[in-house]
Chain A
Amino acid sequence: MAGERRADAAALGREALAYADTLYNLARYLTRSPTDAEDLVQETYARALSAVHQFTPGTNLKAWLFRILRNTFLSQYRHERHNPTVGGLDTVVAVAPGPESTQLLRGDLELDRLRKVVGEEIERALASLSEEARTVILLDLEGLSEVEVAQVVGCAVGTVKSRLSRARAALREKLRDYSR
């Protein structure tokens, strides 16, 4: 019985280790520090190992690991220096261009800007967003469904949709700022 559990944990571990790059990438964008990201990923795996019996086979292992990583980040890093915005995304009004002609002109410039933006600028813009915004954008980028993102961040599916929309609007606003 103990042997079976150990074999299960080992099998899960092999699968979990395949996500090391993905988890580290998210950790880098959350902590903005290579050293902190390494510590965060290591702590995530340690917690995952101790909670391996709580993982439901057949569910999304990547999403489960993301949830552990994010919870670890929130418990260890949130009260430090890493949160640049005051208030959460749910209280931020998204900036969306309206139908006025001046905004359309600005929209044209924005499209041109988005075509030319380089990786370093996107990274910088993303890093300047709140932790909530960075998280939903990166989880969405990882291909997690809204239901899975909701499980990772612990909110309703509808909230994920609105957070993601606002986060992307905030990112576009930052990228517009760089072109001025």
Chain B
Amino acid sequence: MTCDEARELLLDAQRGRLPADQRGALEGHQASCEACAHEAAAEALLSEALEGRLPQHAAPVALKRRLAAAWPDAPAAEPAPRRWASWRRALVPALAVGVLLLAALPLYYQRSSGPGEPMVTEAVNDHLRLLSSQHPLDIESGGMHQVKPWFEGRLDFAPVVRFLGDDEFPLRGGAVGYYLDRKAAVFVFHRRLHAVTLLVFRAEGLPWPRRGLERVGGVTAQVTTSRGFNAIVWREGELGYALVSDVDLPELARLVGRLAAAS
């Protein structure tokens, strides 16, 4: 396989569209050709950046209303009288299911879905990336007074975190990370042997949830359990905060209380 042939197949390989023999030939070529291996890595990173970080613009609600108003509605259903008897048999259980769904939906949205879900998913992913990284911290902690100034010039905002860490939640250090489409200040605290990740980022333009919020540690936050991790996400003015860990929720809430009390 030549380099030109290999590069023509890169995108198909990324999207899983190559038959096994071609995929094998491509992988064999990349193993022996550093330039094509670089090309494959760059294309994979470009796809990752486009899929994960390119801002997505949602249609304004007013536009959606105009579109819906312009499209004709379906004609009103006029069931034939003789079909009513068979519908009636199905109607009672259907109504019962409907009532149950209405009762359960708010609980479902509160804990597992809704506008804030991508934010929680991203926060948990960031926490997992830190856990799996061999060098998760750009600056090891000598205390918040050492960590916070380190961010100067590395971010386009000043992360407001005044809790310095204590015996219960010692601060381990910080790093610059990425949260959805923007940079984030990452602070890592510890609780016994568990890592607790705090992400601080610009809040503007993110899909902040408006329903299912709870008062936690003095802030109004989205409290979620995702993939076994507890996540608390909240907003204070222009900044957003996401706290993620596998420590118990009450303990995580205590850390939120300290962060909120100090700020």
Interface residues of A (CB under 8 A from B): 3, 6-7, 9-11, 13-14, 16-17, 20-21, 23-25, 28-29, 34, 37-38, 41-42, 45-46, 49, 96-99, 103-104, 107-108, 110-111, 114-120, 122-123, 126, 137, 141, 161, 164-165, 168, 171-172, 175
Contacts and interface: CB of A to CB of B under 8 A. Distances in A.
Contacts of B72: 6, 9-10, 13, 49
B63 A20 contact: yes
Residue among B3, B34, B49 with max Cβ neighbours from chain A (10 Å): B49
Interface in B179-223: 180-183
B75 interface: yes
A41 B67 CA distance: 9
A137 to B, nearest CB: 7
Contacts of A122: 49-50, 53-54
Nearest to A106: B38
Contact of A118 (B48, B73, B74, B178): B178
B51 interface: yes
Chain A, interface SS category: helix
* Main secondary structure on B side of the interface with A: helix
A42 B11 contact: no
B46 interface: yes
A138 to B, nearest CB: 9
Given A3-B75, A120-B181, A96 B57 contact: no
B19 to A, nearest CB: 16
A82 to B, nearest CB: 16
Interface of B: 3, 7-8, 11, 33-35, 38-39, 41-43, 45-46, 48-51, 53-60, 63-64, 66-68, 70-75, 178, 180-183
Contact of B49 (A14, A16, A117): A117
Given A6-B72, A96-B7, A96-B39, 10 more contacts: A3-B75, A6-B74, A10-B75, A17-B71, A21-B58, A25-B56, A34-B57, A34-B60, A117-B53, A172-B42
A49 B66 CA distance: 14
A176 to B, nearest CB: 10
Given A114-B49, A161-B8, A141 B54 contact: yes
6 contacts: A13-B72, A38-B60, A118-B183, A122-B49, A122-B50, A168-B46
Contacts of B56: 21, 25
A25 B57 contact: yes
Given A99-B3, A120-B181, A161-B8, A168 B67 contact: no
Which 3 residue pairs spanning A and B have beta carbons closest together?
A: A119-B181, A13-B71, A24-B59
A24 B34 contact: no
A50 B135 CA distance: 59
A24 B67 CA distance: 12
A45 B72 CA distance: 12
B53 A104 contact: no
B74 A111 contact: no
A3 to B, nearest CB: 6
Contacts of B58: 21, 24-25
Contacts of A13: 71-72
Nearest to B180: A119
A46 B55 contact: no
A171 B43 CA distance: 11
Nearest to B53: A119
